[in-house]
Amino acid sequence: METKAGDPGAFAHFDLSRVPSPAFVVDEVAVRRNLEILADIKTRSGAKILLALKAFSMWSLAPLIDKYLDGYCASGLWEARLAKQCFTGPISSYSPAYKSDDLRELSAISEHITFNNPAQLARWIGDADMKSALATCDLGLRINPEIALGETAKYDPSQPHSRLGYPVSQLQPEDFRHLSGVHFHNLCEQGFDALAQTWGKIEPVLAPHFETLKWINLGGGHHITRDDYDRDALVGFLKELKARTGCDIYLEPGEAVALDAGILVGEILDVFDNGMPIGITDISATCHMPDVIEAPYRPAMLHEGSEGPVIRLGGPSCLAGDIIGDYILPEEPHAGQRIAFLDQAHYSMVKTNTFNGVPLPAIWLWNSESDTLSCVRSFDWTAFRDRLS
């Protein structure tokens, strides 16, 4: 899987020695730039845009994000609690399944709750107490478009036998009886064309129900803030969709809010030869950038060279597969050398873990216009200790 981003932006001039290693550095100016693009889409189209907290949950930037977006979408109770406590705005919640206690609390703090299939919804509203609790929310259904457009099958919500959403081919008129809205999420780092194809598959099934639906949520995965995204086409589509359906239209990007807005700074700890140069870094793919292994993909490096010896970089854990990738460094590899990987503000930050007791990166906030730099959060070994027993 090829990274779709990796523009260094202002980080091209950032001194990596200014922060400890490892550390995430987020440029609030870059986040604001992305938010301004999304706000422009909102203004021109009439659609509403939510932040998907699963991709970017940096609540220290809540005052900034609140100014531009319409609310937040949560993938479960803890994310919804974070949205309620740290951000301002309506909350839309979806999970493939719910525990009763979680659902009851979610119903008290969410504007929309989306269910994974009609039988699940019927089961919960068939319980008198839960039906009463859910009466305060708009109820939605996630549908599966059954059109696979993703680059990587295991990341594609429309993969065969997907657990995400109810197959659009199985929808019946009675499935819309209790619904205020429908939701689908079929994209991953994709442009407008993929959204248009997905909607083309769904519209014939939804069209008979436009009059009874209040909202349609087009999900996330839209790389709206990427330079090559056709934003004018998106605006035209959203305006037409809102007019044709009479529904409120939602998008819930995550990556687009933090695209190219952060780096992960690390240090080479050791270099040796094993048929090729090997570099051990204090950045771990498995602990700090799990998508490198899960996708897999090769993260772009700040100031990577175009010519010279190739070195394989990997983390300090005992996992044999803790390999970041092969790179040409901007200078001769050596212990103590600082490096940084681009576009790490989304997903990497929320997916870090302490396997092997590998330290978590600190989180720093930088303003590339004023050059102010502050530590938002640092971690000591108790972050590892306190998650165990």
- The fold adopted by the segment(s) 46-258 is TIM Barrel (3.20.20)
Q: Which pLDDT score is estimated for 1?
A: 66
Q: Which pLDDT score is estimated for 151?
A: 81
**pLDDT tens digits, one per residue of 211-240:** 999 999 999 999 999 999 999 999 999 999
> SS3 of 236, please?
helix
Residue 304, CB-side half-sphere exposure with 13 Å CA sphere: 18
Say how far apart CA 11 and CA 16 lie, in whole Å: 9
> SS3 of 10, please?
helix
Q: Which pLDDT score is estimated for 154?
A: 84
Give yes or no for a cis peptide into 22 (omega within 30° of 0): yes
How long, in residues, is the chain? 389
Say how far apart CA 14 and CA 303 lie, in whole Å: 11
Class of domain 9-25+261-385: mainly beta
Using 50 as the pLDDT threshold, list the residues of the chain that sit under it.
Answer: none
CB atoms within 10 A of CB 39: 16
**CA distances to 32, 80, 370 from 342, in Å:** 18, 29, 21
Structural tokens at position 338: 């600082």
Say how far apart CA 191 and CA 238 lie, in whole Å: 14
pTM of the predicted structure, to 2 decimals: 0.96
Instruction: Return the domain boundaries, the chain.
Output: 9-25+261-385, 46-258
Q: Which amino acid is at 188?
A: C
Q: Exposure of 8 by Cβ count < 10 A (0-12 exposed, 13-18 middle, 19+ buried)?
A: middle
Say how far apart CA 183 and CA 140 lie, in whole Å: 7
Q: Which pLDDT score is estimated for 374?
A: 98
Q: Which pLDDT score is estimated for 150?
A: 84
Say how far apart CA 160 and CA 173 lie, in whole Å: 24
